[in-house]
Structure 1
């Protein structure tokens, strides 16, 4: 199973489902409130996807969005973040892809996409 994970700053209610409706089939995601964990499903190329929103990530202002499935609409976290940023018009962050569970977080760089462009930055 593959996964994608991005972090969306100051996520507005309904924004994720509105963005993903154009990317996925049979989207079932109720993000009319974003103050607790939200789980949903969808299809992409006929394969099932699990979608989970985790609000309050990294100091409460970010919501983690995780998509898991055999087929995904983007080939990398960065491609997913680019699509999200274009649609949501708020800061989006993601891992550059080389971090593994257990690696020190303090040295990690993240992609930050916002009105200033795409930059590798420390989280804080």
Structure 2
């Protein structure tokens, strides 16, 4: 019974984020066109605090449609992005393919990551 309640919440959450993906992709906030041209989506504090990520393995939970995940990939990290939204993962994979980036995206809620994503991070 409890799992049924969680499934309902996960499904509602996924549907909500699925609706937001096209709105966010089209918005000026995410600057998708600039990202495609090479601009990072990362903030200076993120870059400073994490430092050099070359050769590091990074798991990005709640990656939305993957811009930050792909930004870390551009900086040399081996990245896997996770999101509950199938539309978010679809868009991330579309951008990744267009940019020919070696990054992986997996649709999963954060609780199921251990069974859906192999490896250590």
Q: Same fold (TM over 0.5)?
A: no
How does the TM-score come out when normalised to structure 1? 0.32
How does the TM-score come out when normalised to structure 2? 0.33
Which one has the largest radius of gyration? 2
